[in-house]
Structure 1
Amino acid sequence: MAGEEGGALLAWEFVSPPRILFGAGVRRELPAVARAYGRRPLVVTGRSHQRVKDLLQALESAGLQPVRFGVCGEPEVATVRQAVGLARQEGCDLVIGVGGGSALDTAKAVAGLVPRAGEVEEFLEVVGQARPLPGPGLPFLAVPTTAGTGAEVTRNAVLAVPEHRVKVSFRSPYLVARAALVDPELTMGCPPAVTAAAGLDALTQLLEAWVSPRANFFTDACCAEGLPRVARSLRRAWSDGTDAQARADLSWSALLSGLALSNAGLGAVHGLAGPIGGAVPAPHGAVCGILVAPVTEANVRALRRRASGHPALERYARAACWLTGRSDAAAEDGVAWLYELAQSLQMPRLSRYGFTAGLIPEVVEKALRANSMKTNPIPLTADELSAVLEAVI
């Protein structure tokens, strides 16, 4: 962990967009940034047109000809196929994602696929051929309107594959945005439930990257900066959607979580979240918020029983200090804090989304094959994963 072993630095790579613009008002730079890459952008947005109306008008005023594609709910392979067809039909030379993780993931997948033949399934992990993308696609720009997924800076698009009842990644360095414009003002007034789910997703990504065996000095810096900010600001933003400082903290933390996960990997929360999201219509962030405490508890317990000298235990303790604000916190104190946070943010149980005990064997079997499980700090058994799910139904 942390990029070193026995005092010797280990080799590592860090992937990120070549340009990141962060701060209140940076959305106004979008037309100028976009003009450097094209003139007819496909603008992929969420369900609500109103939230991006001003940005679309700004693009038009700057002489661009945007073509809008709306994503309703979390993206499926069919969603991407439809958007690719529209981009080709309209002669789009640029893709801009404006919205939450669903819009951004759709946009980056479309940008990667428009210039080349082949179906998206060929590039999917787990259920597809996982073919490497042979080269760059259309330029992709990312403008997040929620603070959680960090999709504006990641190299993968998460897509649902209904026939396989799972969510999987389309992953390539060529999917990284040419520029990410992260404006916390776009998240102002985000509904409490969305704020909670997105914020817990960011927290989970930071925590899982922090204890990942692929962590390095750069991802450690992201996590050490992001975790305390989420801890101090998520409840504030949830209770007051207009708290500008809390919104800025969450947007910054979400960006950091994307950089961290893209370079260090994730863990068992996300390993379970993909199959759960494929089995029932549950928002990804909400699933992560429901699972992060019991999965962390299972990891800590397994480490103490089977690998008591593992460095992840010390890392969980350090994370607990950031989360609780206590310098003497142990890993178990961090687990208790996570449970209390989920309760205070009114996170539901999985049964709210139709998840039943009968789905546990299917979800566990798929989770054990998920790429995210490869970077969990310790392998969890099928029984341990089943117990986690039983506890949150």
Structure 2
Amino acid sequence: MTSQPGPNLQIPRVHLEGSSYEIGFKHGHVLKEQILSQLEIYREIFQQNCKFDWPHVRSISEGFKTSIGLLAPELLEEIGGIADGVADPNVDIIDIVALNARSEIALGQWDDGCTSLAWHIGDKQILAQNWDWRVSVGKNLAIAFIRQAGKPDITMVIEPGIVGKIGFNSSSVGVCLNAIRARPTSTSLLPIHLLLRIALECPSVDAAIAKIESLGGAASSQHILIADLHGGRALELSPLGGVYLPEDQYGIIVHTNHFLENKLVQEPPWLNGSPFRLERARSLCAELREQANSKGEDLDKKITPVVLRSRIFSDTANSPQAICCSADPARGDVGNVETLFNIIMIFKKGETPRAEVVFGKPSISSQYHSEILTL
């Protein structure tokens, strides 16, 4: 059975500032119950999907802890703060590292699917996605607001215990994430969730790409869709190198859960709905553009969060592996994946960056809870 957030759901909002350790400590303290729940959920998922018991997960996490300490010591301090903030004798920094490196430890064996979109229209940049993952995680999601000296302010939708996720900053830089199932992985590089956070600490897309490259790239194959006021880029990252895709002639980038151009890694077909969602989203964007042109409408005014949610992100074609994903009972626990939230970020010159988030399926308005996010 699945359970969707209802309109009365209260999503925790945590305001974090100070030193790296202080940010982590408050994160761990305020979201303690959610973090403990996340640890239980991931123990189960690692066992189901990978046949890894928790001691094995922790042993792999030790390698990532070393790499994080070398490449991103401030984030390791924050992770340590989270562990201390949880203040549970059964939880230490290695457990929190495991949450942050969950995608890498799993060796690409997760089943999460997502559909992301960047659309540059005039002086407006849209960055949006549906995030699809295990239903059990949905109840733990939170919103984090982070303020650090010398860096842009950050707003993210987070999985508690993880330092980076999907969101945007006060410099109008935003990130979305698509999981990719490919080998190899590398414990000598940074997990993707840390790279998401690092990207959001940058003032521009170009600066974020340069920073990621300076760190050697990603520890696993993943796609970050990143955008700022000047446009979007699709970052197809891997331990063996990255490929960066530009917008098409209409200012659009659509991405799902397979690489489009990065041929550096071994990527067997794994989620047969991914190519369908890619072409479906592209087609729906084209329909919106053509309808606006045929009616002489201003595309900038037509493409609103409401329109994007109703016309693209609520789409159920090819269900259960649709843009708006539903759980697949035929696949048992492994198929218990569905759209947990939709986020639509809007960046415009001279305006404060903002986002609209709905927790739950955007296709069922009676079952979702909406939030407006600004900085």
Instruction: Normalising by structure 2, report the TM-score.
Output: 0.28
Instruction: Normalising by structure 1, report the TM-score.
Output: 0.27
Question: Which is richer in strand?
Answer: 2
Question: Which is richer in helix?
Answer: 1
